[in-house]
Structure 1
Amino acid sequence: PHLPVFLIEEPEVGPAGSSAHPRVIDRDGVTVITPVFPATTRPAAGFGPETNECVSRLLTPFFASRGFLGPSAWPILWYYTPMALGAEPAGLTPALVVADVMDELANFLGAPPDLKRREAALLARANLVFAGGPSLYASRRERHPAVYCFPSGVEPAHFAQAAGGAQLPPELATLPRPVLGFYGVLDERLDLTLIDALAHARPDWTLLLIGPIVKIDPRALPRRANIVYLGIRSYHQLPAYLAGFDVALLPFARNDATRFISPTKTLEYLAGRKPVVSTPIQDVIDLYGDVVSIASTPAGFIAAVEAALQESPAARRQRLLSAQTLLATHNWDAIAARMWSLLTAAWQERQSALRSPRPPSALIPHAPPVAAPVGLMTTD
């Protein structure tokens, strides 16, 4: 089914003197709404107890004018962060509430102090809980009767461009080979000591790190002649940069912030047909241990990278075959189909419980159920 989808991004701060307004972008059937508030007013950007009240006041007339408020609308509310509780438009009566637990956000550097309390409140409201990997699933399954494990997905065709057809960016063309690459947020989850040790031990290797620096002091990043930082690149650019990797890295530290992560980029690397070396992140081991090399020390990491660079044709064929099996079940189309099946079943169960069954078709002509993700999906 094709339902209208509204994605509510985290609020932003606009120019001083401007008026509060929703910035609306329609793209491929998804309406992205970013609440914008003038810089001279409080609260600041991001979801929070004060911000959410302002967001709700801004969103209420927007959705009311489109007929999505009131008892007949019955939208689906889909939360990617519990910090968005209270940002919903006033008068919204959800058919279902989905809690999408993508990360253990409370373990991240600078996490709001009331995040755990807010998550408990969200789980109490939720009809369905989707956990973004085995570790998150194990930590939530006793806290709600309807928790389902949905590890990260991938758009295989997009990242397959890295294996053929993607034009190498000019800034990568002159880098000394081999190139050991990583893309993603550069934050407290990275093992900077490991990265520095690799670069020091093998000055003939280029370590390429692509992504924004967040929540850590840029001065903490290791600086060596063979470490290259490129900054953020868009999703559409990633296959071209991935094409320049000889080995793809998951150099995550072992700390509270990484205990529950299930890195989306693992499948993206595999779709790009790259050998992958990772530190012992539990979800990587559980989900991809047959195709990703795991190493826990700098010496072990160096040995795993060397083995990847010297991979035999037979070993490469087996790795690619195993990767294709994973990609067949962990792509976004398959995940969306399973999620939709669960949503449909939960919707029908709620209809039966209310003893006022309304077939989905009766809702569509006037006020179709809306998949309305409230919040911002976290980036790993």
Structure 2
Amino acid sequence: MNLAEQPEVLALASVQNAVETSLQVRPTLVCLSHLRWGFVYQRPQHVMSRLAKNYDVVFFEEPIFFEGDAPRLDVSNPAAGIEVAVPHLPFGMSGEAIDQAQRQLLDKHLAGRVQGDLLLWYFTPMSLLFTEHLDARVTVYDCMDELSAFMGAPARLIEMEQQLMARADVVFTGGVSLWEVKQRQHGNAYPVPSSVDIAHFAAARQALPEPADQTSIARPRLGFFGVIDERFDIELIDRVAAMRTDWQIVLIGPVVKIDPQTLPLRPNIHYLGARQYAELPDYLAGWDVALMPFALNASTRFISPTKTPEYLAGGCPVVSTPIHDVVSGYGESGAVFIADTAEAFVEAIENALPLKGTAQFLQRADAAIAGMSWDNTSRFMQEQIECLR
């Protein structure tokens, strides 16, 4: 089940009328996020920037610690209708003091500004530690990933998620496999896989100016953009690069939670670092095959990578390890190749290399992402909220 298969739900005039009526006084939506607005542009930014057309969004991030005496809240407006609020707390505070400081900063920020309903949107259950006192009209748990399986997950995360599940009015999951688990824990859960801004990435199907740091890299080019962390199969990339030294592997994204010294260093592996969302099509246009070299471990068991439809929208064949939601969602598309070993990965890349730009491949890619859009995804989520208000 996905949103592309439910156009009739999204088009219900009666629901839309109810939404418009209830939004005459704009609600305040407080989004509690473990991801920063300025980090990789992904689901939180896509969804919140669209919900901000009808809600006043306060995007409340995890704290930053500094040398000082008094907690403070730094507020910025990176997009229309979005307030990003970042707590700055002194070093050395206890866990209880940290929760209390965040509670006070948030309460002070919201005081006098909430005119309509208060909506709470949780990306992380840990935020419940300083928001459990808030009286929300609707509480949303957007479970993007199984966070308890990630490296460095807080010890209390599972306990806090259980509490959030009990409080939440609606639960969204980042993919179907995660929904299969969470729907057994909550009676109003929906699979809402991350979507794609097709127009943004479709620009990569045309000839675009080559980024300066990619111009000198030879072809064929195999590319990846995203976070390089414990989910990334370092050994797989190293082996593919060693097996085919004529292939150039371009890796774009920040290195997080793993030691950069563990990354393989070869002449045909190119680490270009993090890039802005707006720049990604420029890089993608110059790749021959897009890669999703995810390790198969606890942290990837339930992921539904956003980059799958982004690569396809850009007209690039995809080779992926057998991530469950990728196999079930795209395995029969003819546009995404699945491989479970380094040898199979090399063979899949060889099969994918001739496809880019061909009419047959582009038809398959378009069919795989037909009906997908962040507008539809956000509209579906908003409709669930409005049905509960």
Q: TM-score, normalising length from structure 2?
A: 0.82
The residue aligned with 2:199 is 157
* CA-CA distance at 1:327 after TM superposition: 3.1
Aligned pairs for 1:289-368 within 5 A: 289=331, 290=333, 291-311=335-355, 316-347=358-389
1:151-174, Cα deviation, whole Å (9 max, x unpaired): 111111111222226422111001
Cα distance in structure 2, aligned partners of 1:148 and 1:310: 38
Cα distance in structure 1, aligned partners of 2:96 and 2:278: 34
Question: Kindly tell me: are residues 199 and 336 of structure 1, through their superposed partners in 2, closer, same or farther at Cα, counting changes over 3 Å?
Answer: same
The gaps in structure 2 that reach 5 residues or longer are 1-19, 21-53
Q: How many residues are paired up?
A: 334
Cα distance in structure 2, aligned partners of 1:220 and 1:59: 39
Aligned pairs for 1:1-380 within 5 A: 2-14=54-66, 16-17=67-68, 19-26=70-77, 27-38=79-90, 40-42=91-93, 50-67=97-114, 73-88=116-131, 92-164=134-206, 166-289=208-331, 290=333, 291-311=335-355, 316-347=358-389
* CA-CA distance at 1:295 after TM superposition: 0.7
Cα distance in structure 2, aligned partners of 1:87 and 1:162: 43
Question: Kindly tell me: are residues 191 and 203 of structure 1, through their superposed partners in 2, closer, same or farther at Cα, counting changes over 3 Å?
Answer: same
The higher-RCO structure (CA 8 Å, 6+ apart) is 1
* CA-CA distance at 1:312 after TM superposition: 8.1
Cα distance in structure 2, aligned partners of 1:341 and 1:59: 27
* CA-CA distance at 1:49 after TM superposition: 5.5
Residue identity in the other structure for 1:17? G
Q: Is the 8 A contact 2:316 2:356 kept in 1?
A: no
Q: Is the 8 A contact 1:267 1:327 kept in 2?
A: yes
Cα distance in structure 2, aligned partners of 1:266 and 1:76: 31
Question: Kindly tell me: are residues 312 and 165 of structure 1, through their superposed partners in 2, closer, same or farther at Cα, counting changes over 3 Å?
Answer: closer
The gaps in structure 1 that reach 5 residues or longer are 348-380
Residue identity in the other structure for 2:63? P
* CA-CA distance at 1:260 after TM superposition: 0.6
Residue identity in the other structure for 1:25? S
The residue aligned with 2:3 is none
Partner of 1:257, secondary structure, is helix
Residue identity in the other structure for 2:68? G
Question: Kindly tell me: are residues 263 and 312 of structure 1, through their superposed partners in 2, closer, same or farther at Cα, counting changes over 3 Å?
Answer: closer
Q: TM-score, normalising length from structure 1?
A: 0.83
Partner of 1:188, secondary structure, is coil
Provide the alpha-carbon RMSD of the alignment: 1.8
Cα distance in structure 1, aligned partners of 2:304 and 2:132: 32
